[in-house]
Structure 1
Amino acid sequence: MPEPPATGERLGPLIRTLRLRAGWTEDDLARALVTDSGRNTITRTEVWRWEVEYKSRTAGPFWLPHLAHVLNVPVCRLQAARAASKAARRIGHIATATPAEVLASLLPPGEPLAPCGTQAGRRVGMDDAEALLRRVHGLRLADDVLAGGDLVETCVRELRKAVNLFNQTSHTELVGRRLLVAVAEMAQLAGWVATDTGGRVDAEPLFRLGASAARQAGDGALAAHLLGSWGYWAANSGDARRGVELVRAAEAAAGTGVPLVARSLTSARLAWTSVLAGDDRTALRAMGEAMQQITDADPREADGQLWLYWVDAAEQEVMEARVATQLHRPLRAVPLLRGVLAGYDPTHVREYALYTSWLVTALLDANEMEEAAAMANRMFAMAASVPSTRAAERGDVVLAALRHHRRVPEVAEVLAMWDAPPA
C-alpha cells in the first residue's frame, strides 16, 4: 500500500532522508537521476541545493517523478512535501527557528555538536576526514540564516576540535591533506563569523591559521579564499591598502587550474578593496572580470569545493552594485539591487538587510527619497532581529545618509522611529 503523504513534511529534508536510507551519496543520486531522466543537467551540487533548499530552491515538477522512481517513494508524497516547503517559505519558517534548532537541522545526522572523540595516537581514516568536512559545511549553512553572535563560540570550538584531530591522531598523508582542508575551511568560517561580532573574537589569527593549513594541503583555491576573506575584512575595517595586498596575495596563491567561480570571487574582492582604497580604475576592471568569469563558469568545476556554493551571478551582481554605489553611480546600482532582492530568500535575514542597506544609499543618491525611506524602514526592522555587527554598522551608515534628507517627510518618519537621540 502506498505510504501516505506526511503532513508538513518538507521536500529538501525528505529527499536527504530517502537518499541516506538508500545508502547513496549526493553523487549517487545525481547519477541515478541523469540515467532515469536522460538529462545530463543534475550534479551533486544541485542535489545538495535541493536538500537544504538553498535560496528557496527545490526539485521542480519535472524531477518529482524521477525522484519518486529512483528513491522508491510515491510521487504524491514528494508533491505534498514540495507544497509544504513552499508554504514554509511564505511564513518564514526557518527565520523563526532558534539557533539550536537551525544547527540541529543543518549538521549531518548522527553528528551533533559534541566532541569528536579524539584520542592521542588513534588512527583516523578518510571517512573521519569527510565527516569533519560535513560538520564544517553544516555550520557554513547555518551562517546563512544565523548571525555572528549566534555562531562564533560554536565555530571556534569546532576549529579547535579539527586542529586536535589533525595533531593528535595518526593518519596517512592523503588523509592528512583532507584533514588540513577541513581545518582550513573551518578556520575560514570561524574567521568570517568572528568579523560579525564587533571584535569579540579576533579574526586575523583565524584567517592566518586557515591560509597556512590550505597551503600545506596544496589547495590553492582554498588558500586564495582564506587570503581573500582576510583582505576583504581588513579593507572593511579601515585598512584598504592592506586589504588590496592580501587579495593580490590571494590571486598569486590560487595558481592554475582554479575554477572560474573561485576566480570570480577573488576578482570581486579585488574590486571592493580597490574601490575602498580609491583605485576606481582597478575596481571597475576587476568587477568586469568577475562578472565575465561567473558568466563563463561551469558549476560542475566546483563540485568538490562546497565552500563555493554561495557564489553565483546574483551574489556577484550585489558586489557590482556595491562598487557602483561606492562610486556614486546609482543608475547602475539600483536596478541590480532591485533585481537581486526581488528573488532573494528573506529568511537569510542578515544578508537581506545588508543588501537592502546598499539599495537605500543608492536610492538616496538617485534622489528617490520615498522609496529609500520605505526600504530603510524594512532594513532596520530586519537588522534589529539578528545579532550582527555588520548589519548594525551598515545601519549606522544608512542613518548618517538619511540625516542629510531629514526635511523629506518620509525620511523624517524613519529617523523618528530608528535614530537614537543625541546623548
Structure 2
Amino acid sequence: MVSTRAVPNLVFRQLRGQRSPGEFAAAVRRVAREIGEQVACDARYIGRVEAGEIRCPNYAYERVFLRMFPGLTLADMGFAARETVRGRRTARTGHEAHRTPRTPTVPAQFSPFPPDRPGHPAPLNHPNHEESDVLRRAFMTSGGATVAAAALPALGAGAASATTPWRVGEAEVDAVEQAVRQIRLLDDRHGADGLYRQAAQPLRAAYALLDAGTTARRSTSDRLHAGAGELAISVGWLAHDSGRLDRARSHYTEALATARLAGDAALESHAFCNMSFLARDAGRPREAVRTAQAGQQAARALGSPRLLALLALREAGGRAGLGDRAGCEQALGRAHAYFGYGESGADPEWMTFFVEAELEMLEAQCWSALSQWDRAAGHARRAAALQDPHFTRNLALYHAQLAGDLARGGAPDEAATAGLRALALLDQVRSSRIQSMLAQTARMLRPHRRTGQVAAFLARRTAPA
C-alpha cells in the first residue's frame, strides 16, 4: 500500500529564512494588501505549508507568493502542480492516483448559481483558504440548501448525539475554521443581511460537535473550541450588522462562555471587543466601556499591539457616548500609540480588516458622538479615501458615516454626494445598519430637497431596488 503521509516542503522553509512563522505570515498579509488580494494568513497556515499539508496554494496565495519571490514559480517554491491536488479530471500517476482528496465531493444540491444569474452574486475570486471551494459553493446556493451539510460534511444525520459520541478529527475542525473565514469574506463583499440565516446552520453544527464529540488530542479540542467561538462571533456580527441586536448579543455571549470554558484569552478578547461595539450601537455606553476594558485585560498577554489599539478604540467609542470627551481623547491616544507599533505575528487572523482606514472610521464615530461634526467628517473622509475597494461593505459604511456627519455639520450638497456614493455601493452589499444610517441622513436633508444633489440622493434612496 502506498503511503499518503505529507512530504515536508523544505524549499518553502528555506524561503522563510530567519523570520518566525508569525512574522512571515504578517509579511504575506502586507504584500497581499499591496496587490489588492485578501488572505487570512497566520503562523498556522505557514506551518501547514512547510509540513506539506498544503501542497498547492489557492490563486490568491499564488499571486502573493509570486510577488514576494520574483522569478520563482510555484514548483521552485516546492509546491505540487495544481491539477494534482484540486480534484481535476486529469491523469494521475504514482501515489497521487491513490490519495484521497481532502476536500469532500459537493452533493448535487450544492451546485452553484451561474455567475450571471440575476439577483445573486457571482462566486468570489479571492477565497481565504486553499480548500474553501465546498464552502463557497454552499454559501452561494439557493435557500433550500443547508450550509452546515457542506461546511461540516462529517456530521451526518444523527451522527452526534448525547448518547453516541462523535469522533472529531482534523477534517471537522478544518471545516469549522473554513466556515469562519468564508463568512468573513462574504460579509466583506456582500454585507450581512443575506447571510445571517444561512450562517446560523454551521454554527449549530459546530456546537453539536462540541456537545457530543470527543477528540483524540488536546490540540484538536482547543482548535474546535476556538473555531466554534469564532464562528459564534462571526454569526453574531452578521446579526449585529443586519439589525438583530438581541440575537447578536446572544451569539457574543455564547462565544464568551466558550472562551472562558476553554481558557482561551484570544477568543475572550475578541468576544469582549464585539460586545463593546454592540453595546455602543445599542445605546449602552457604560457597558461598551466596561466590556472594552475587560477585552484589554484579556488581550494584554497576547502580544498584539493592534488588538490593544482596536480595544482602546472600542473604549473611546463608549466614552464618547457618555459625553466624556477627556476620557475619549485619552483612549484615542492609547489607540494611536498601539497602532503605531505596526503589525505583529501575534495579530489575530480576524483583524485583517483593521487597517488605517478603519482606525480613521472609528475615530470619526467618536467625534460624531461628541457632536464635533467637522472633525468627524474629516476622519470619515480620510477613511473612505484609504479604504481598499475589495472591502465593499466597509467602503459603503464609511461614505454613509461621512454623509451623516456632513449633513449634521450643515453641508447638505456634500452630504448628498457622499450618500449617493454609499447607495451606489449598496447595489453590491446588503446591510441594514448602513441603510439605517442613510435613512437618518435623508431625514436631515429633506428641508434641502429642492437642491440638485439632495434631490438626486432622496430620489435614489427611495427608488425600487
- For the aligned pair, the TM-score class normalised by the smaller chain equals 0.7 to 0.9
One-letter amino acid matched to 2:381: R
Q: Structure 2 matches for 1:253-332, cutoff 5 A?
A: 253-302=298-347, 305-332=348-375
Q: Structure 2 matches for 1:203-218, cutoff 5 A?
A: 203-218=248-263
149-158 or 207-216: bigger deviation: 149-158
TM-score between the two structures when normalised by the length of structure 2: 0.69
Q: CA deviation at 1:33?
A: 3.8
Alignment check: 8 A CA contact 2:38 2:126 kept: no
Aligned position for 1:418: 461
Give the length in aligned residue pairs: 375
> Per-residue CA shift, 1:80-117, capped at 9, x if unaligned?
xxxxxxxxxxxxx99x9945724995563464341432
Distance in 2 (CA, whole Å) between partners of 1:46 and 1:211 is: 30
Distance in 2 (CA, whole Å) between partners of 1:66 and 1:201 is: 51
Distance in 2 (CA, whole Å) between partners of 1:123 and 1:156 is: 23
Q: CA deviation at 1:226?
A: 0.7
Alignment check: 8 A CA contact 2:413 2:454 kept: yes
Q: CA deviation at 1:406?
A: 3.9
Distance in 2 (CA, whole Å) between partners of 1:72 and 1:164 is: 36
Distance in 1 (CA, whole Å) between partners of 2:316 and 2:235 is: 24
The counterpart of 1:190, out of the listed 220, 231, 235, is 235
The counterpart of 1:168, out of the listed 212, 224, 240, is 212
> Per-residue CA shift, 1:114-171, capped at 9, x if unaligned?
1432334243335543442233222222221122222112321111111112222211
Aligned position for 1:54: 38
Aligned position for 2:123: 101
Q: Aligned to 2:283, what secondary structure does the other structure show?
A: coil
Distance in 2 (CA, whole Å) between partners of 1:216 and 1:41 is: 26
One-letter amino acid matched to 1:163: Y
Distance in 1 (CA, whole Å) between partners of 2:332 and 2:442 is: 28
Aligned position for 2:52: none
The counterpart of 1:70, out of the listed 44, 55, 77, is 77
In structure 1, runs of 5+ residues without a counterpart are 1-21, 75-92
Q: Aligned to 1:170, what secondary structure does the other structure show?
A: strand
Q: CA deviation at 1:414?
A: 2.5
One-letter amino acid matched to 1:238: G
Aligned position for 1:117: 154
Alignment check: 8 A CA contact 2:323 2:370 kept: no
Distance in 1 (CA, whole Å) between partners of 2:21 and 2:125 is: 33
Q: CA deviation at 1:393?
A: 0.9
One-letter amino acid matched to 2:210: F
One-letter amino acid matched to 1:165: L
The counterpart of 2:434, out of the listed 391, 405, 409, is 391
Aligned position for 2:200: 156
Q: Aligned to 2:194, what secondary structure does the other structure show?
A: helix
Distance in 2 (CA, whole Å) between partners of 1:110 and 1:376 is: 36
One-letter amino acid matched to 2:329: L
Question: Structure 1's 352 and 106: CA in aligned 2 closer, same or farther, altered over 3 A?
Answer: same
Distance in 1 (CA, whole Å) between partners of 2:455 and 2:416 is: 9
One-letter amino acid matched to 2:123: E
Aligned position for 1:89: none
User: Identity, % of aligned pairs?
Assistant: 25
Alignment check: 8 A CA contact 1:221 1:258 kept: no
Distance in 2 (CA, whole Å) between partners of 1:40 and 1:97 is: 42
Question: Structure 1's 292 and 128: CA in aligned 2 closer, same or farther, altered over 3 A?
Answer: same
380-389 or 230-239: bigger deviation: 380-389
382-391 or 144-153: bigger deviation: 382-391
Distance in 2 (CA, whole Å) between partners of 1:378 and 1:288 is: 31
Distance in 1 (CA, whole Å) between partners of 2:37 and 2:357 is: 17
TM-score between the two structures when normalised by the length of structure 1: 0.76
Question: Structure 1's 413 and 149: CA in aligned 2 closer, same or farther, altered over 3 A?
Answer: closer
Aligned position for 2:272: 227
Aligned position for 1:90: none
Q: CA deviation at 1:30?
A: 6.7
Alignment check: 8 A CA contact 1:180 1:217 kept: yes
Q: Which has the higher helix share?
A: 1
One-letter amino acid matched to 1:206: H
Alignment check: 8 A CA contact 2:192 2:431 kept: yes
Question: Structure 1's 253 and 356: CA in aligned 2 closer, same or farther, altered over 3 A?
Answer: same
Distance in 2 (CA, whole Å) between partners of 1:325 and 1:110 is: 42
Aligned position for 1:202: 247
Aligned position for 2:98: none
Question: Structure 1's 131 and 103: CA in aligned 2 closer, same or farther, altered over 3 A?
Answer: farther
Distance in 2 (CA, whole Å) between partners of 1:260 and 1:207 is: 23
One-letter amino acid matched to 1:381: A
Q: CA deviation at 1:48?
A: 5.6
Distance in 2 (CA, whole Å) between partners of 1:383 and 1:23 is: 46
Q: Aligned to 2:387, what secondary structure does the other structure show?
A: coil
Question: Structure 1's 282 and 320: CA in aligned 2 closer, same or farther, altered over 3 A?
Answer: same
Q: CA deviation at 1:341?
A: 2.0
Alignment check: 8 A CA contact 2:239 2:247 kept: yes
Alignment check: 8 A CA contact 1:318 1:336 kept: yes
Distance in 1 (CA, whole Å) between partners of 2:78 and 2:414 is: 48
One-letter amino acid matched to 2:379: L
Question: Structure 1's 385 and 175: CA in aligned 2 closer, same or farther, altered over 3 A?
Answer: closer
Q: Aligned-pair RMSD on alpha carbons?
A: 3.7
